[in-house]
Structure 1
Amino acid sequence: MKNWTLRQRILASFAVIIAIMLLMVVVSYSRLLKIEAGEERMRNDAVPGVYFSSMIRSAWVDSYIQTQEIIGLKQNQDISAEDVADFKSFEQHLVTQMGNYKQTINSREDQNEFDAFEKDHQDFNRIQAAVLDLHQRKQEAEAIRLFNEQLTPAWTKGRLKLNDIISENKAVADSATAAIDDAVAAAKVSMGVSLLLAVLAAGLCGLLLMRAIMAPMNRIVEILEVMRTGDLSGRLNLERKDEFGAVETGFNDMMTELTALVSQAQRSSVQVTTSVTEIAATSKQQQATATETAATTTEIGATSREIAATSRDLVRTMTEVSSAADQASVLAGSGQQGLARMEDTMHSVMGAADLVNAKLAILNEKAGNINQVVVTIVKVADQTNLLSLNAAIEAEKAGEYGRGFAVVATEVRRLADQTAVATYDIEQMVREIQSAVSAGVMGMDKFSEEVRRGMAEVQQVGEQLSQIIHQVQALAPRVLMVNEGMQAQATGAEQINHALVQLGDASSQTVESLRQASFAIDELSQVAVGLRSGVSRFKV
């Protein structure tokens, strides 16, 4: 076991624990099988047997008591249909329970007992039928004698046999219960023993693994403590063939490489110190030169920025002039378009005014037609009034027979009067409409004249705007040429300024870089000194 690897030891420990757990599972499963068998015996044999045999005994007693009541209490009385139904019910219940019990029989002895009871049952039914037949024929003395001498002993024999069956099923139930209790106790003991063995095995395996790991780890810690002081001469010697053997080989190789590296670092630290001193002197000379260049570039940049500022102001001014010219041209064009749309609108208004005049003329003509119709309606109303008057006169002549016709004539005359009044109102309204139409025609004529005058003025303004647009459009190209020249000058000045700014930035960056390089060289010098002092404490 000393030559085992850590992996093999860990797997062996888990294998022992798993084997003990599997053994515990097998033992527990076997006990559970016994418990299941006992429970199945209780469920399918013992408990149903006791229950059905008890039900058979109850039906057996009920049948006997019913026969006893008929013989003792109903002498000289016929057996009623209710009694017959009771006997059939008892017998049917008894036969049903016997069939149920028969399905629970699992042993030869139980079958023999049940066969004996079936024979007793047949004898009891035969004697009971004879007793009831004698009672039905009014032979009470013979029936009582047969009841006491044959039926009661047969019933007692069957009851004793049922008691034996019940006792036997109870004994089976007690036996199954005892078997279940024994299996449960054995399962508890086996599981406790298996659990104890598993705990002991786990503790023992853990102890062995801890010893196998801690011994080499302690040796490694000792070597690391020695290395922490700067002594790199120590080496591991674990004498192991497992994973710690590979760790030992790798650690010793690492120490050999580290020793060579420290030796090389000690030699290089001296060379680094010398080179850093030379670089520092050169860096200071370059820093002075770069500072002078940056100052000169700054002065040139200030002058270039003034030129660029003046050029930008001129470009801004010419841009504003060009924008103003463009806006004037656009506004003039928009005004000319608006005047053109206004002229079109006035033409449309004149057309609409002519159309309104035509519609008003038609309306005036229609009003005249309405007036003619009203005159006709007035004539009809007058004629109707005259006819109603004549009808009233004729109704008066007719006396009592013409009274209804007189009422109708009165209503017709009243309707004719209302028609005359309405036609008068219509005539007045038509005259008012004709007056309003005449006034509207005159107003529309005046409006058309005003529109014509406005169109002439709009045309004159449009011609003036056209002249303004031509002048502005001729000015725009010249302003554009001046603007382009100023923009080119401003662009050149800005490019010069950008170049000088970049040159100044480059000079500043150079000075800053040289300053940082000087700082870095100083730090490198300190690092070289620290490296030299650091590697000097290692023993190789």
Structure 2
Amino acid sequence: MLRNLTIKSQLVILISFMATLLLVIGGIGLNGMGKADEGLQRVYDDRTVPLMDLSSLVKATDRIRINALVAATAPWADVAIKANADTLRLDKEIDTLWAHYTRTAMAADEKALAEHFEAQWKTYKASRDVTMKLAMESDFEASRDNAFKDAAPKFEAVYTSLSKLIELQGTEARHEFETSRSRYETSRVIAIAAILLGLGLAAWLGFLLIRAITGPLNAAVKLARSVAEGDLTQRVDVHSTNEIGQLMQALREMTDNLAKVVGQVRSGTDTVATASNQIAAGNLDLSSRTEEQASSLEETASSM
């Protein structure tokens, strides 16, 4: 796979893979942190803040209930008038708190329970106003009768609904925590799997790259040493077209050319040796003939 790629391309692939792996793992981590931040924000905005609003609502409704009882059991109307004024102020505070609470994100069951509370609260306020009106008119007996027999049961229903809403905030916060925990575990498993897979692939790519570079280089070193020792019979195999393959091809051509040059030198040497032998043989033949002529001359001279 990497055989015909240039070394530069192989290094770019490996570095790009490691950079991509880093981006993937970083993305998983950032996504997990983002989800965790969203979960914490939901817990604060949609559960903690509503819980504080509902707690303030409970305190305000308790004070309204106390004001109604104070008015119903007051010895004179001025006490009832003062209690009623405080109650009207608390009504505005409750309206503000309730409006703030209902602007938060609500689950379906929470929304239904909130609508149920609104209806109960209106019913209780109507009965409470009767209690206050009778007390401010100094009809304390009728006021007490209305407070204990009509308004009190309606207030208990209101209080029960508020308690359920408060309990629901804890339940939803717990659910959000479990969701965030599950999301964290999923992100953790994915990150670990990505790290292990990335390390495995990086090791594999690194092994292929090392083998693709060092194998041919070792062969080139071996060939160079053989040539230095005068061995031109080594076989050079070229398996790629990258820089290493080009080096091996050049070494093969060099070896082949050296072998041809050596062969030509040997052929020339043999030719020179043959010519030398022929010259030597001619010289011997000439010398022999010279000796024969000398002998003939000597014989001729003797006969004269």
TM over 0.5: yes
Relative to the length of structure 2, the TM-score reads 0.72
Change in Cα spacing, 1:80 to 1:167, as seen in structure 2 (3 Å) is: closer
Contact 1:63–1:90 (8 Å) recurs in 2: yes
Correspondence 1:235-384 to 2 at 5 A: 237-243=236-242, 244-254=244-254, 256=257
Q: In structure 2, what is the Cα distance between the partners aligned to 1:18 and 1:164?
A: 52
Partner of 1:129: 129
SS of match in other structure, 1:106: coil
Correspondence 1:100-499 to 2 at 5 A: 100-229=100-229, 231=230, 233=232, 237-243=236-242, 244-254=244-254, 256=257
Deviations 1:76-132 (A, max 9, x none): 352376534422221111111011111114344323222221222222222222212
SS of match in other structure, 1:79: helix
Deviation of 1:157 after TM superposition, in Å, equals 0.7
Contact 2:2–2:209 (8 Å) recurs in 1: no
Change in Cα spacing, 1:224 to 1:114, as seen in structure 2 (3 Å) is: same
Deviation of 1:71 after TM superposition, in Å, equals 3.1
Change in Cα spacing, 1:131 to 1:84, as seen in structure 2 (3 Å) is: closer
Partner of 1:326: none
Contact 2:232–2:259 (8 Å) recurs in 1: no
Relative to the length of structure 1, the TM-score reads 0.43
Q: What amino acid sits opposite 1:241 in the alignment?
A: S
Partner of 1:38: 39
Partner of 1:319: none
Q: In structure 1, what is the Cα distance between the partners aligned to 2:5 and 2:64?
A: 85
Q: What amino acid sits opposite 1:242 in the alignment?
A: T
Q: What amino acid sits opposite 1:222 in the alignment?
A: K
Q: In structure 2, what is the Cα distance between the partners aligned to 1:249 and 1:77?
A: 115
Q: What amino acid sits opposite 1:218 in the alignment?
A: N
Q: In structure 2, what is the Cα distance between the partners aligned to 1:196 and 1:13?
A: 16
Deviation of 1:24 after TM superposition, in Å, equals 4.4
Change in Cα spacing, 1:137 to 1:3, as seen in structure 2 (3 Å) is: closer
Deviation of 1:68 after TM superposition, in Å, equals 2.0
Q: In structure 2, what is the Cα distance between the partners aligned to 1:63 and 1:142?
A: 19
Deviation of 1:28 after TM superposition, in Å, equals 5.1
Change in Cα spacing, 1:84 to 1:131, as seen in structure 2 (3 Å) is: closer
Segments of structure 2 that go 5 or more residues without pairing to the other structure are: 266-304
Contact 1:4–1:242 (8 Å) recurs in 2: yes
Q: What amino acid sits opposite 1:120 in the alignment?
A: Q
Deviation of 1:48 after TM superposition, in Å, equals 2.8
Q: In structure 2, what is the Cα distance between the partners aligned to 1:118 and 1:126?
A: 12
Q: In structure 2, what is the Cα distance between the partners aligned to 1:242 and 1:27?
A: 39
Percent identity for Structure 1 against Structure 2: 14
Deviation of 1:194 after TM superposition, in Å, equals 0.6
Deviation of 1:138 after TM superposition, in Å, equals 2.3
Contact 1:49–1:104 (8 Å) recurs in 2: yes
Deviations 1:392-417 (A, max 9, x none): xxxxxxxxxxxxxxxxxxxxxxxxxx
Contact 2:47–2:172 (8 Å) recurs in 1: yes
Q: In structure 1, what is the Cα distance between the partners aligned to 2:211 and 2:20?
A: 23
Partner of 1:361: none
Deviation of 1:219 after TM superposition, in Å, equals 1.7
Partner of 1:59: 60
Q: What amino acid sits opposite 2:219 in the alignment?
A: R
Contact 1:57–1:162 (8 Å) recurs in 2: yes
Contact 1:21–1:194 (8 Å) recurs in 2: no
Deviations 1:489-523 (A, max 9, x none): xxxxxxxxxxxxxxxxxxxxxxxxxxxxxxxxxxx
SS of match in other structure, 2:232: coil
Q: In structure 2, what is the Cα distance between the partners aligned to 1:26 and 1:80?
A: 65
Change in Cα spacing, 1:148 to 1:219, as seen in structure 2 (3 Å) is: same
Change in Cα spacing, 1:4 to 1:250, as seen in structure 2 (3 Å) is: closer
Deviation of 1:10 after TM superposition, in Å, equals 4.5
Q: What amino acid sits opposite 2:86 in the alignment?
A: D
Q: In structure 2, what is the Cα distance between the partners aligned to 1:179 and 1:160?
A: 28
Q: In structure 2, what is the Cα distance between the partners aligned to 1:228 and 1:213?
A: 23
Q: In structure 1, what is the Cα distance between the partners aligned to 2:26 and 2:78?
A: 72
SS of match in other structure, 1:104: coil
Deviations 1:204-262 (A, max 9, x none): 11112222222222222223334455x3736560332232221022234456479969x
Q: In structure 2, what is the Cα distance between the partners aligned to 1:217 and 1:38?
A: 57
